[in-house]
Structure 1
Amino acid sequence: MFECRAIFISDVHLGCKDCRADYLLSFLQQTQTDKIYLLGDIIDLWAMRKQVHWQLNQNQVIKALLDKAEQGCEIIYVPGNHDEALRLYHGKSFGNIKIALRSSHITLQGKKLLLLHGDEFDKQVSFGPLHNWLGDTLYDFLLFLNRWFNRSRRLFGGQYFSLAAYIKRKVPGAQKAIARYRQAVVNKALKGGYDGVVCGHIHHPEIRLEQGIIYCNDGDWIDNCTALVEQTDGSLALYHWTEQAQRLASLPLQAVASKAKAA
Protein backbone atom coordinates (compact mmCIF):
# COMPACT_ATOMS: atom_id res chain seq x y z
CA MET A 1 0.00 0.00 0.00
CA PHE A 2 1.41 3.38 -1.07
CA GLU A 3 0.88 6.07 1.61
CA CYS A 4 0.84 9.81 0.96
CA ARG A 5 -0.55 13.05 2.43
CA ALA A 6 -2.71 14.14 -0.52
CA ILE A 7 -3.73 13.07 -4.02
CA PHE A 8 -4.75 15.41 -6.83
CA ILE A 9 -6.74 13.92 -9.74
CA SER A 10 -8.57 15.48 -12.67
CA ASP A 11 -9.91 14.74 -16.13
CA VAL A 12 -11.06 11.18 -15.50
CA HIS A 13 -14.00 11.60 -17.91
CA LEU A 14 -16.18 8.82 -16.51
CA GLY A 15 -18.85 8.03 -19.10
CA CYS A 16 -16.48 8.61 -22.03
CA LYS A 17 -15.31 5.66 -24.13
CA ASP A 18 -11.64 6.66 -23.71
CA CYS A 19 -11.74 6.78 -19.89
CA ARG A 20 -9.09 4.50 -18.33
CA ALA A 21 -11.06 3.74 -15.19
CA ASP A 22 -9.24 0.40 -14.87
CA TYR A 23 -5.94 2.14 -14.17
CA LEU A 24 -7.50 4.71 -11.84
CA LEU A 25 -9.26 1.96 -9.86
CA SER A 26 -5.94 0.16 -9.44
CA PHE A 27 -4.30 3.39 -8.27
CA LEU A 28 -7.04 4.12 -5.72
CA GLN A 29 -6.96 0.56 -4.39
CA GLN A 30 -3.21 0.73 -3.81
CA THR A 31 -3.01 4.16 -2.19
CA GLN A 32 -3.83 5.45 1.26
CA THR A 33 -4.13 9.17 1.92
CA ASP A 34 -5.69 11.79 4.20
CA LYS A 35 -6.99 13.99 1.36
CA ILE A 36 -8.10 13.61 -2.23
CA TYR A 37 -8.77 16.59 -4.46
CA LEU A 38 -10.88 15.89 -7.56
CA LEU A 39 -10.06 18.83 -9.83
CA GLY A 40 -12.75 18.66 -12.48
CA ASP A 41 -13.99 16.63 -15.43
CA ILE A 42 -14.34 13.58 -13.22
CA ILE A 43 -17.70 12.76 -14.85
CA ASP A 44 -18.01 13.64 -18.53
CA LEU A 45 -21.55 14.97 -18.79
CA TRP A 46 -20.75 16.43 -22.23
CA ALA A 47 -19.83 13.02 -23.68
CA MET A 48 -22.85 11.33 -22.07
CA ARG A 49 -25.24 13.72 -23.83
CA LYS A 50 -24.15 12.08 -27.08
CA GLN A 51 -23.56 8.51 -25.96
CA VAL A 52 -22.99 6.86 -22.58
CA HIS A 53 -20.05 4.49 -22.18
CA TRP A 54 -20.32 3.28 -18.61
CA GLN A 55 -18.56 0.10 -17.52
CA LEU A 56 -18.38 -1.79 -14.25
CA ASN A 57 -14.95 -0.40 -13.38
CA GLN A 58 -16.35 3.14 -13.60
CA ASN A 59 -18.94 2.24 -10.95
CA GLN A 60 -16.09 0.76 -8.92
CA VAL A 61 -14.11 4.01 -9.12
CA ILE A 62 -17.04 5.94 -7.67
CA LYS A 63 -17.54 3.31 -4.97
CA ALA A 64 -13.82 3.41 -4.10
CA LEU A 65 -14.00 7.20 -3.64
CA LEU A 66 -17.18 7.00 -1.55
CA ASP A 67 -15.64 4.26 0.60
CA LYS A 68 -12.52 6.34 1.22
CA ALA A 69 -14.67 9.35 2.17
CA GLU A 70 -16.70 7.21 4.56
CA GLN A 71 -13.50 5.91 6.15
CA GLY A 72 -12.37 9.46 6.98
CA CYS A 73 -10.47 10.59 3.90
CA GLU A 74 -11.33 14.23 3.15
CA ILE A 75 -12.43 14.49 -0.49
CA ILE A 76 -13.06 17.82 -2.20
CA TYR A 77 -14.56 17.93 -5.69
CA VAL A 78 -13.88 21.04 -7.78
CA PRO A 79 -16.00 20.62 -10.96
CA GLY A 80 -14.59 21.41 -14.40
CA ASN A 81 -16.23 22.31 -17.69
CA HIS A 82 -17.34 18.76 -18.55
CA ASP A 83 -19.08 18.40 -15.17
CA GLU A 84 -19.94 22.10 -14.73
CA ALA A 85 -23.54 21.26 -13.73
CA LEU A 86 -22.14 20.24 -10.34
CA ARG A 87 -20.98 23.82 -9.75
CA LEU A 88 -24.58 24.59 -8.82
CA TYR A 89 -24.05 22.48 -5.69
CA HIS A 90 -20.92 24.21 -4.37
CA GLY A 91 -20.88 24.26 -0.59
CA LYS A 92 -22.86 21.01 -0.37
CA SER A 93 -21.71 17.45 0.25
CA PHE A 94 -22.67 14.18 -1.42
CA GLY A 95 -21.65 10.98 0.31
CA ASN A 96 -19.10 12.92 2.42
CA ILE A 97 -17.57 14.42 -0.75
CA LYS A 98 -17.57 18.22 -0.61
CA ILE A 99 -18.28 20.33 -3.72
CA ALA A 100 -16.31 23.58 -4.11
CA LEU A 101 -15.70 26.03 -6.95
CA ARG A 102 -12.00 26.04 -6.08
CA SER A 103 -9.88 25.06 -3.12
CA SER A 104 -6.43 25.36 -1.56
CA HIS A 105 -3.96 23.05 0.12
CA ILE A 106 -0.94 23.62 2.36
CA THR A 107 1.84 21.05 2.04
CA LEU A 108 3.90 19.69 4.92
CA GLN A 109 6.67 22.03 3.73
CA GLY A 110 4.34 25.01 4.18
CA LYS A 111 3.65 25.66 0.50
CA LYS A 112 0.18 27.12 -0.12
CA LEU A 113 -1.30 25.74 -3.34
CA LEU A 114 -4.24 27.10 -5.32
CA LEU A 115 -6.44 24.28 -6.63
CA LEU A 116 -8.67 24.68 -9.68
CA HIS A 117 -9.66 22.93 -12.88
CA GLY A 118 -8.39 25.50 -15.38
CA ASP A 119 -11.15 26.01 -17.95
CA GLU A 120 -11.55 29.62 -16.81
CA PHE A 121 -8.40 30.45 -18.79
CA ASP A 122 -9.70 29.20 -22.14
CA LYS A 123 -10.27 32.69 -23.52
CA GLN A 124 -6.71 33.70 -22.69
CA VAL A 125 -5.30 30.62 -24.41
CA SER A 126 -7.67 30.48 -27.39
CA PHE A 127 -6.33 31.20 -30.88
CA GLY A 128 -9.87 31.61 -32.27
CA PRO A 129 -13.00 29.50 -32.99
CA LEU A 130 -11.51 27.77 -36.04
CA HIS A 131 -8.37 26.84 -34.17
CA ASN A 132 -10.43 25.50 -31.25
CA TRP A 133 -12.62 23.40 -33.54
CA LEU A 134 -9.57 22.04 -35.36
CA GLY A 135 -7.84 21.26 -32.07
CA ASP A 136 -10.86 19.37 -30.69
CA THR A 137 -11.26 17.42 -33.95
CA LEU A 138 -7.58 16.47 -34.08
CA TYR A 139 -7.59 15.45 -30.42
CA ASP A 140 -10.57 13.15 -31.00
CA PHE A 141 -8.65 11.61 -33.90
CA LEU A 142 -5.57 11.18 -31.69
CA LEU A 143 -7.66 9.35 -29.11
CA PHE A 144 -9.01 7.09 -31.84
CA LEU A 145 -5.44 6.30 -32.93
CA ASN A 146 -4.41 5.82 -29.29
CA ARG A 147 -7.22 3.32 -28.70
CA TRP A 148 -6.38 1.11 -31.68
CA PHE A 149 -2.62 1.48 -31.26
CA ASN A 150 -2.78 0.06 -27.73
CA ARG A 151 -5.13 -2.73 -28.74
CA SER A 152 -2.53 -3.77 -31.31
CA ARG A 153 0.30 -3.54 -28.76
CA ARG A 154 -1.54 -5.85 -26.36
CA LEU A 155 -1.99 -8.46 -29.08
CA PHE A 156 1.80 -8.70 -29.21
CA GLY A 157 2.29 -8.57 -25.45
CA GLY A 158 3.14 -4.87 -25.26
CA GLN A 159 2.19 -2.54 -22.42
CA TYR A 160 0.21 0.68 -22.54
CA PHE A 161 1.85 3.60 -24.32
CA SER A 162 0.17 6.96 -24.83
CA LEU A 163 0.51 7.60 -28.54
CA ALA A 164 -1.78 10.64 -28.21
CA ALA A 165 0.44 12.25 -25.57
CA TYR A 166 3.58 11.49 -27.60
CA ILE A 167 2.19 13.13 -30.74
CA LYS A 168 0.96 16.19 -28.81
CA ARG A 169 4.46 16.74 -27.44
CA LYS A 170 5.78 16.88 -31.01
CA VAL A 171 3.27 19.43 -32.35
CA PRO A 172 4.60 23.05 -32.09
CA GLY A 173 1.10 24.57 -32.02
CA ALA A 174 0.10 22.36 -29.10
CA GLN A 175 3.22 23.32 -27.16
CA LYS A 176 2.49 27.01 -27.75
CA ALA A 177 -1.06 26.62 -26.40
CA ILE A 178 0.24 24.71 -23.37
CA ALA A 179 2.74 27.50 -22.63
CA ARG A 180 0.02 30.16 -22.82
CA TYR A 181 -2.21 28.15 -20.50
CA ARG A 182 0.61 27.61 -18.02
CA GLN A 183 1.35 31.33 -17.95
CA ALA A 184 -2.29 32.24 -17.37
CA VAL A 185 -2.55 29.81 -14.46
CA VAL A 186 0.72 31.01 -12.92
CA ASN A 187 -0.46 34.63 -13.15
CA LYS A 188 -3.60 33.68 -11.21
CA ALA A 189 -1.52 32.10 -8.44
CA LEU A 190 0.82 35.10 -8.33
CA LYS A 191 -2.06 37.55 -7.92
CA GLY A 192 -3.57 35.42 -5.16
CA GLY A 193 -0.34 35.24 -3.17
CA TYR A 194 0.04 31.47 -3.50
CA ASP A 195 3.29 29.50 -3.58
CA GLY A 196 1.97 27.14 -6.23
CA VAL A 197 -0.99 25.95 -8.22
CA VAL A 198 -2.45 22.56 -9.14
CA CYS A 199 -4.74 22.27 -12.15
CA GLY A 200 -5.80 19.95 -14.96
CA HIS A 201 -7.95 20.62 -18.02
CA ILE A 202 -5.35 20.44 -20.82
CA HIS A 203 -4.29 16.78 -20.28
CA HIS A 204 -0.60 17.66 -20.05
CA PRO A 205 1.01 16.48 -16.79
CA GLU A 206 4.04 18.36 -15.49
CA ILE A 207 5.72 19.88 -12.46
CA ARG A 208 7.90 22.95 -12.92
CA LEU A 209 8.88 26.23 -11.30
CA GLU A 210 7.60 29.24 -13.23
CA GLN A 211 8.27 32.80 -11.98
CA GLY A 212 8.77 31.43 -8.49
CA ILE A 213 5.42 29.61 -8.61
CA ILE A 214 5.26 25.82 -8.39
CA TYR A 215 3.13 24.89 -11.40
CA CYS A 216 1.59 21.41 -11.26
CA ASN A 217 -0.73 19.87 -13.82
CA ASP A 218 -1.99 16.50 -12.62
CA GLY A 219 -2.70 15.28 -16.16
CA ASP A 220 -5.63 12.99 -16.94
CA TRP A 221 -6.97 9.43 -17.08
CA ILE A 222 -7.64 9.42 -20.83
CA ASP A 223 -4.22 9.13 -22.42
CA ASN A 224 -1.62 9.92 -19.70
CA CYS A 225 -3.09 8.13 -16.64
CA THR A 226 -1.39 10.41 -14.11
CA ALA A 227 -2.00 11.76 -10.63
CA LEU A 228 -0.15 14.36 -8.59
CA VAL A 229 0.76 13.23 -5.09
CA GLU A 230 2.05 14.99 -2.01
CA GLN A 231 4.32 12.40 -0.45
CA THR A 232 4.79 11.84 3.26
CA ASP A 233 7.77 14.23 3.35
CA GLY A 234 5.74 17.05 1.75
CA SER A 235 7.35 16.78 -1.68
CA LEU A 236 5.22 16.69 -4.82
CA ALA A 237 5.47 13.85 -7.33
CA LEU A 238 3.72 13.01 -10.56
CA TYR A 239 2.77 9.35 -10.93
CA HIS A 240 2.11 7.52 -14.18
CA TRP A 241 -0.10 4.52 -13.47
CA THR A 242 -0.55 1.87 -16.17
CA GLU A 243 0.40 -1.80 -16.30
CA GLN A 244 3.86 -0.85 -15.08
CA ALA A 245 2.45 1.26 -12.21
CA GLN A 246 5.70 3.18 -12.47
CA ARG A 247 6.77 6.60 -11.30
CA LEU A 248 6.89 9.06 -14.18
CA ALA A 249 8.56 11.79 -12.15
CA SER A 250 9.29 12.42 -8.52
CA LEU A 251 10.45 15.98 -8.07
CA PRO A 252 10.74 17.33 -4.51
CA LEU A 253 10.11 21.07 -4.34
CA GLN A 254 13.79 21.73 -3.66
CA ALA A 255 14.76 19.79 -6.81
CA VAL A 256 12.29 21.75 -8.91
CA ALA A 257 13.69 25.03 -7.58
CA SER A 258 17.33 24.01 -8.13
CA LYS A 259 16.57 22.87 -11.68
CA ALA A 260 14.93 26.20 -12.46
CA LYS A 261 17.89 28.14 -11.07
CA ALA A 262 20.33 26.06 -13.11
CA ALA A 263 18.34 26.80 -16.27
Structure 2
Amino acid sequence: MSHYRTIFISDLHLGSKGCQAEALCLFMKEHTSERLYLVGDIIDGWRMRKKWYWPQSHTNVVRRILTAAKRGTDVTYIIGNHDEFLRGFLKFRLMFGDIAVRNRAVHDGQDGKRYLVVHGDMFDGLMRADRKWIMHLGDSAYNLLLWVNTKLNVVRRRLGMDYWSLSKMLKSRTKRAMNFIQSFEGHVADYCRRKGFDGAICGHIHVAEQREIDGITYKNTGDWVESCTALVEHFDGRWEILHFAPHAALIADRAIYGDTIPQASTPAALIPAQ
Protein backbone atom coordinates (compact mmCIF):
# COMPACT_ATOMS: atom_id res chain seq x y z
CA MET A 1 0.00 0.00 0.00
CA SER A 2 1.23 3.51 -0.91
CA HIS A 3 0.49 6.57 1.20
CA TYR A 4 0.65 10.15 -0.11
CA ARG A 5 0.24 13.66 1.21
CA THR A 6 -2.51 14.33 -1.34
CA ILE A 7 -4.37 12.47 -4.08
CA PHE A 8 -6.36 14.26 -6.79
CA ILE A 9 -8.83 12.35 -8.99
CA SER A 10 -11.52 13.66 -11.32
CA ASP A 11 -14.02 12.73 -14.00
CA LEU A 12 -15.17 9.44 -12.50
CA HIS A 13 -18.58 9.77 -14.18
CA LEU A 14 -20.35 7.52 -11.72
CA GLY A 15 -23.76 6.71 -13.16
CA SER A 16 -22.42 6.18 -16.67
CA LYS A 17 -21.39 2.93 -18.33
CA GLY A 18 -17.99 4.39 -19.17
CA CYS A 19 -16.92 4.66 -15.52
CA GLN A 20 -14.08 2.28 -14.62
CA ALA A 21 -15.42 1.77 -11.12
CA GLU A 22 -13.70 -1.56 -10.44
CA ALA A 23 -10.31 -0.11 -11.31
CA LEU A 24 -10.96 2.89 -9.06
CA CYS A 25 -11.92 0.64 -6.14
CA LEU A 26 -8.66 -1.25 -6.56
CA PHE A 27 -6.72 2.01 -6.72
CA MET A 28 -8.32 3.40 -3.56
CA LYS A 29 -7.73 0.14 -1.73
CA GLU A 30 -4.01 0.25 -2.50
CA HIS A 31 -3.40 4.02 -2.28
CA THR A 32 -4.26 6.28 0.65
CA SER A 33 -3.54 9.90 1.49
CA GLU A 34 -3.84 12.62 4.12
CA ARG A 35 -6.00 14.65 1.72
CA LEU A 36 -8.22 13.59 -1.18
CA TYR A 37 -9.61 16.01 -3.74
CA LEU A 38 -12.45 14.84 -6.01
CA VAL A 39 -12.00 17.36 -8.81
CA GLY A 40 -15.41 17.37 -10.49
CA ASP A 41 -17.63 15.19 -12.68
CA ILE A 42 -17.71 12.58 -9.94
CA ILE A 43 -21.40 11.84 -10.55
CA ASP A 44 -22.61 12.03 -14.15
CA GLY A 45 -25.91 13.83 -13.75
CA TRP A 46 -26.18 14.39 -17.49
CA ARG A 47 -26.29 10.67 -18.24
CA MET A 48 -28.49 9.80 -15.28
CA ARG A 49 -31.13 12.31 -16.39
CA LYS A 50 -31.44 10.37 -19.64
CA LYS A 51 -31.23 6.84 -18.26
CA TRP A 52 -30.71 5.49 -14.74
CA TYR A 53 -27.58 3.39 -14.42
CA TRP A 54 -26.04 2.61 -11.02
CA PRO A 55 -24.46 -0.85 -10.59
CA GLN A 56 -23.00 -2.17 -7.34
CA SER A 57 -19.47 -1.22 -8.38
CA HIS A 58 -20.43 2.46 -8.39
CA THR A 59 -21.84 2.14 -4.88
CA ASN A 60 -18.56 0.50 -3.87
CA VAL A 61 -16.65 3.59 -5.03
CA VAL A 62 -18.87 5.85 -2.91
CA ARG A 63 -18.36 3.56 0.08
CA ARG A 64 -14.59 3.70 -0.29
CA ILE A 65 -14.63 7.50 -0.42
CA LEU A 66 -16.92 7.75 2.63
CA THR A 67 -14.78 5.22 4.51
CA ALA A 68 -11.61 7.20 3.73
CA ALA A 69 -13.25 10.36 5.11
CA LYS A 70 -14.45 8.53 8.21
CA ARG A 71 -10.92 7.23 8.88
CA GLY A 72 -9.44 10.71 8.87
CA THR A 73 -8.70 11.60 5.25
CA ASP A 74 -9.57 15.23 4.54
CA VAL A 75 -11.89 14.82 1.52
CA THR A 76 -13.05 17.76 -0.64
CA TYR A 77 -15.57 17.35 -3.45
CA ILE A 78 -15.20 19.96 -6.21
CA ILE A 79 -18.28 20.33 -8.42
CA GLY A 80 -17.94 19.96 -12.20
CA ASN A 81 -20.28 20.45 -15.14
CA HIS A 82 -21.69 16.90 -15.13
CA ASP A 83 -22.58 17.19 -11.42
CA GLU A 84 -23.51 20.88 -11.64
CA PHE A 85 -26.91 20.11 -10.05
CA LEU A 86 -25.04 20.26 -6.72
CA ARG A 87 -24.17 23.95 -7.19
CA GLY A 88 -27.69 24.93 -6.22
CA PHE A 89 -27.06 23.52 -2.74
CA LEU A 90 -23.73 25.27 -2.05
CA LYS A 91 -25.45 28.09 -0.13
CA PHE A 92 -26.50 25.47 2.44
CA ARG A 93 -22.83 24.51 3.02
CA LEU A 94 -23.47 21.08 1.56
CA MET A 95 -21.71 18.10 3.19
CA PHE A 96 -21.78 14.40 2.32
CA GLY A 97 -20.97 12.86 5.70
CA ASP A 98 -17.46 14.15 6.44
CA ILE A 99 -16.95 15.35 2.85
CA ALA A 100 -17.01 19.09 2.13
CA VAL A 101 -18.54 20.11 -1.21
CA ARG A 102 -17.07 23.20 -2.88
CA ASN A 103 -17.09 25.00 -6.21
CA ARG A 104 -13.33 25.46 -5.92
CA ALA A 105 -10.58 25.14 -3.34
CA VAL A 106 -7.06 26.37 -2.65
CA HIS A 107 -4.33 23.82 -1.97
CA ASP A 108 -1.08 24.83 -0.29
CA GLY A 109 1.48 22.47 -1.76
CA GLN A 110 4.44 21.00 0.07
CA ASP A 111 6.53 22.67 -2.65
CA GLY A 112 5.50 26.09 -1.29
CA LYS A 113 3.15 26.88 -4.17
CA ARG A 114 -0.47 27.97 -3.86
CA TYR A 115 -2.73 26.02 -6.23
CA LEU A 116 -6.26 26.73 -7.41
CA VAL A 117 -8.22 23.46 -7.43
CA VAL A 118 -11.18 23.65 -9.81
CA HIS A 119 -12.86 21.26 -12.23
CA GLY A 120 -12.11 23.47 -15.22
CA ASP A 121 -15.46 23.86 -16.99
CA MET A 122 -15.29 27.61 -16.28
CA PHE A 123 -12.40 27.79 -18.77
CA ASP A 124 -14.30 25.94 -21.51
CA GLY A 125 -15.98 28.30 -23.99
CA LEU A 126 -18.51 25.63 -24.90
CA MET A 127 -19.93 25.81 -21.37
CA ARG A 128 -21.41 29.25 -22.09
CA ALA A 129 -25.20 29.21 -21.80
CA ASP A 130 -25.71 29.87 -25.53
CA ARG A 131 -23.32 27.07 -26.53
CA LYS A 132 -24.11 24.43 -23.94
CA TRP A 133 -26.20 22.42 -26.42
CA ILE A 134 -22.97 21.77 -28.34
CA MET A 135 -21.39 20.31 -25.20
CA HIS A 136 -24.38 18.01 -24.64
CA LEU A 137 -24.22 16.90 -28.28
CA GLY A 138 -20.52 16.20 -27.91
CA ASP A 139 -21.18 14.24 -24.73
CA SER A 140 -23.62 11.97 -26.58
CA ALA A 141 -21.07 11.45 -29.37
CA TYR A 142 -18.37 10.66 -26.80
CA ASN A 143 -20.55 8.03 -25.13
CA LEU A 144 -21.22 6.44 -28.53
CA LEU A 145 -17.47 6.37 -29.11
CA LEU A 146 -16.97 4.62 -25.76
CA TRP A 147 -19.59 2.03 -26.71
CA VAL A 148 -17.81 1.34 -30.02
CA ASN A 149 -14.49 1.17 -28.18
CA THR A 150 -15.85 -1.42 -25.73
CA LYS A 151 -17.06 -3.69 -28.56
CA LEU A 152 -13.77 -3.23 -30.39
CA ASN A 153 -11.78 -4.29 -27.34
CA VAL A 154 -13.86 -7.45 -26.93
CA VAL A 155 -12.62 -8.45 -30.40
CA ARG A 156 -9.06 -7.39 -29.58
CA ARG A 157 -9.16 -9.49 -26.40
CA ARG A 158 -10.23 -12.56 -28.36
CA LEU A 159 -7.31 -11.98 -30.71
CA GLY A 160 -4.93 -11.80 -27.76
CA MET A 161 -4.35 -8.06 -28.14
CA ASP A 162 -4.06 -5.42 -25.38
CA TYR A 163 -6.70 -2.84 -24.45
CA TRP A 164 -6.69 0.13 -26.82
CA SER A 165 -8.46 3.49 -26.56
CA LEU A 166 -10.01 4.78 -29.77
CA SER A 167 -10.99 8.08 -28.14
CA LYS A 168 -7.49 8.69 -26.80
CA MET A 169 -6.00 8.05 -30.23
CA LEU A 170 -8.40 10.49 -31.89
CA LYS A 171 -7.61 13.18 -29.31
CA SER A 172 -3.87 12.82 -29.86
CA ARG A 173 -4.11 12.94 -33.67
CA THR A 174 -6.88 15.46 -34.29
CA LYS A 175 -5.58 19.00 -34.76
CA ARG A 176 -8.82 20.59 -33.56
CA ALA A 177 -8.71 18.54 -30.33
CA MET A 178 -5.08 19.52 -29.73
CA ASN A 179 -5.89 23.19 -30.33
CA PHE A 180 -8.77 22.97 -27.85
CA ILE A 181 -6.53 21.43 -25.18
CA GLN A 182 -3.83 24.08 -25.67
CA SER A 183 -6.44 26.85 -25.55
CA PHE A 184 -7.93 25.40 -22.36
CA GLU A 185 -4.55 25.18 -20.68
CA GLY A 186 -3.73 28.75 -21.70
CA HIS A 187 -6.99 30.08 -20.21
CA VAL A 188 -6.23 28.28 -16.93
CA ALA A 189 -2.74 29.77 -16.76
CA ASP A 190 -3.97 33.29 -17.58
CA TYR A 191 -6.61 33.13 -14.84
CA CYS A 192 -4.08 31.96 -12.24
CA ARG A 193 -1.72 34.75 -13.19
CA ARG A 194 -4.44 37.39 -12.77
CA LYS A 195 -5.63 35.97 -9.44
CA GLY A 196 -2.21 35.46 -7.91
CA PHE A 197 -2.06 31.65 -7.88
CA ASP A 198 1.18 29.80 -8.55
CA GLY A 199 -0.65 27.05 -10.40
CA ALA A 200 -3.87 25.17 -10.99
CA ILE A 201 -5.06 21.59 -10.58
CA CYS A 202 -8.07 20.67 -12.69
CA GLY A 203 -9.79 17.97 -14.74
CA HIS A 204 -12.58 18.31 -17.34
CA ILE A 205 -10.70 17.58 -20.56
CA HIS A 206 -9.73 13.96 -19.69
CA VAL A 207 -6.04 14.54 -20.50
CA ALA A 208 -3.57 14.07 -17.63
CA GLU A 209 -0.73 16.57 -17.78
CA GLN A 210 1.92 18.42 -15.80
CA ARG A 211 3.74 21.38 -17.29
CA GLU A 212 4.81 24.99 -16.85
CA ILE A 213 2.98 27.66 -18.86
CA ASP A 214 4.81 31.00 -18.71
CA GLY A 215 5.63 30.63 -15.03
CA ILE A 216 2.32 29.01 -14.01
CA THR A 217 2.25 25.36 -12.97
CA TYR A 218 -0.55 23.52 -14.78
CA LYS A 219 -1.67 20.08 -13.59
CA ASN A 220 -4.55 17.98 -14.91
CA THR A 221 -5.76 14.81 -13.20
CA GLY A 222 -7.04 13.04 -16.32
CA ASP A 223 -10.06 10.75 -15.89
CA TRP A 224 -11.44 7.37 -14.79
CA VAL A 225 -13.35 6.58 -17.96
CA GLU A 226 -10.43 5.58 -20.15
CA SER A 227 -7.09 6.81 -18.81
CA CYS A 228 -7.46 5.75 -15.14
CA THR A 229 -5.07 8.45 -13.92
CA ALA A 230 -4.50 10.21 -10.61
CA LEU A 231 -2.33 13.14 -9.62
CA VAL A 232 -0.45 12.55 -6.37
CA GLU A 233 1.63 14.78 -4.11
CA HIS A 234 4.41 13.08 -2.15
CA PHE A 235 5.39 14.17 1.34
CA ASP A 236 8.70 15.53 0.03
CA GLY A 237 6.89 17.89 -2.35
CA ARG A 238 7.26 15.82 -5.51
CA TRP A 239 4.29 15.54 -7.88
CA GLU A 240 3.49 12.54 -10.05
CA ILE A 241 0.78 11.41 -12.45
CA LEU A 242 -0.03 7.75 -11.93
CA HIS A 243 -1.51 5.66 -14.72
CA PHE A 244 -3.37 2.82 -13.05
CA ALA A 245 -3.28 -0.37 -15.08
CA PRO A 246 -5.64 -2.98 -13.61
CA HIS A 247 -5.00 -6.66 -14.20
CA ALA A 248 -5.70 -7.46 -17.86
CA ALA A 249 -8.47 -9.89 -16.92
CA LEU A 250 -10.35 -7.13 -15.13
CA ILE A 251 -10.52 -5.00 -18.28
CA ALA A 252 -11.40 -7.97 -20.47
CA ASP A 253 -14.13 -9.29 -18.18
CA ARG A 254 -15.62 -5.83 -17.79
CA ALA A 255 -15.87 -5.43 -21.55
CA ILE A 256 -17.66 -8.78 -21.87
CA TYR A 257 -19.76 -9.02 -18.72
CA GLY A 258 -20.21 -5.39 -17.70
CA ASP A 259 -20.17 -4.60 -13.97
CA THR A 260 -21.22 -8.00 -12.59
CA ILE A 261 -17.71 -9.39 -12.18
CA PRO A 262 -15.90 -10.60 -9.06
CA GLN A 263 -13.14 -8.60 -7.39
CA ALA A 264 -9.84 -9.16 -9.13
CA SER A 265 -7.35 -11.13 -7.04
CA THR A 266 -4.21 -10.07 -8.89
CA PRO A 267 -2.57 -6.84 -7.70
CA ALA A 268 -2.84 -3.92 -10.09
CA ALA A 269 0.17 -2.15 -11.54
CA LEU A 270 1.08 1.51 -11.46
CA ILE A 271 2.87 3.08 -14.39
CA PRO A 272 4.26 6.59 -13.79
CA ALA A 273 3.48 9.00 -16.63
CA GLN A 274 6.33 9.66 -19.01
Matches within 5 A, 1:132-211: 135-136=138-139, 138-211=141-214
Offset, 1:3 = 1.1
CA distance in 2, matches of 1:60, 1:147: 22
Aligned to 2:99: 97
Partner of 2:5: 5
- Give the letter aligned to residue 187 of structure 1: D
Alignment partner of 1:241: what SS? strand
Q: Which residue of 1 aligns with 2:86?
A: 86
In structure 2, the residue matched to 1:246 is 270
Deviation by residue 1:238-263 (Cα, 9 ceiling, x = unmatched): 1111226332427xxxxxxxxxxxxx
Deviation string for 1:47-97 (max 9, x for gaps)? 001112211111110000000000000000011111111123333321100
- The answer to whether 1:228 aligns with 2:231 is yes
Superposed CA offset, 1:204-239 (max 9, x none): 111111111111110111111111111222111111
Runs of 5+ consecutive residues of structure 1 not aligned to the other structure: 251-263
| Equivalent position amino acid for 1:162 in 2 | S
- How big is each residue's C-alpha offset from its partner over 1:23-70, in whole Å with a ceiling of 9 and x where there is no partner? 111110101100000111100111001112211111110000000000
- Contact 1:11 1:41 (C-alpha < 8 Å) held by counterparts: yes
Which residue identity does 1:111 align to in structure 2?
Answer: K
Q: CA RMSD in A?
A: 2.2
Query: Are the equivalent residues in 2 in contact too, given 1:6–1:230 (CA < 8 A)?
Result: yes
Partner in structure 1 of residue 38 of structure 2: 38
Distance in 1 separating the partners of 2:133 and 2:29: 42
Residue 266 (structure 2) aligns with: none
Helix, strand or coil at the partner of 2:14? coil
- After TM superposition, the score normalised by the length of structure 2 is 0.84
* 1:20-31 alignment, distance < 5 Å: 20-31=20-31
8 Å Cα contact 2:209/2:241 also seen in 1: yes
**How far apart are the structure 1 equivalents of 2:201 and 2:55?**
29
CA deviation digits over 1:97-118, x for unaligned, max 9? 0011100111111111100011
Letter matched to residue 13 of structure 2: H
Bigger Cα displacement from structure 2, 33-42 vs 189-198 = 189-198
The gaps in structure 2 that reach 5 residues or longer are 248-268
For residues 157 and 3 of structure 1, do their structure 2 counterparts lie closer, same or farther at Cα, with a shift above 3 Å needed? farther
CA distance 1:230–1:129, change in 2 (3 Å) = closer
Aligned partners of 1:36 and 1:75 also within 8 Å: yes
Number of equivalenced pairs: 250
Alpha carbons of structure 1 residues 132 and 76: separation in structure 2 relative to 1, 3 Å? closer
- What residue in structure 2 maps to residue 114 of structure 1? 116
**Structure 1 Cα separation of the partners of residues 180 and 162 of structure 2:** 30
State the alpha-carbon separation in 1 of the partners of residues 238 and 153 from structure 2.
Answer: 33
| SS in structure 1 at match of 2:245 | coil
CA change 1:82–1:129 in 2 (3 A) is closer
| C-alpha contact 1:41 1:82 (8 A) present in aligned 2 | yes
What secondary structure sits across from 1:63 in the alignment? helix
- Give the counterpart letter for 1:102 in structure 2: R
- What is the one-letter code of the residue matched to 2:102? A
- Alpha-carbon distance in structure 1 between the residues aligned to 2:134 and 2:45: 23
C-alpha contact 1:125 1:180 (8 A) present in aligned 2: no
Percent of residue pairs identical:
39
Once the two structures are superposed, the pairs formed by residues 53-68 of structure 1 within 5 Å of their partners are: 53-68=53-68
Contact 1:39 1:117 in 2 (8 A): yes
Q: Secondary structure at the match of 2:197?
A: coil
8 Å Cα contact 1:125-1:177 kept in structure 2:
no
- Asked if the contact 2:126–2:132 (Cα under 8 Å) also holds between the matched residues in 1, the reply is no
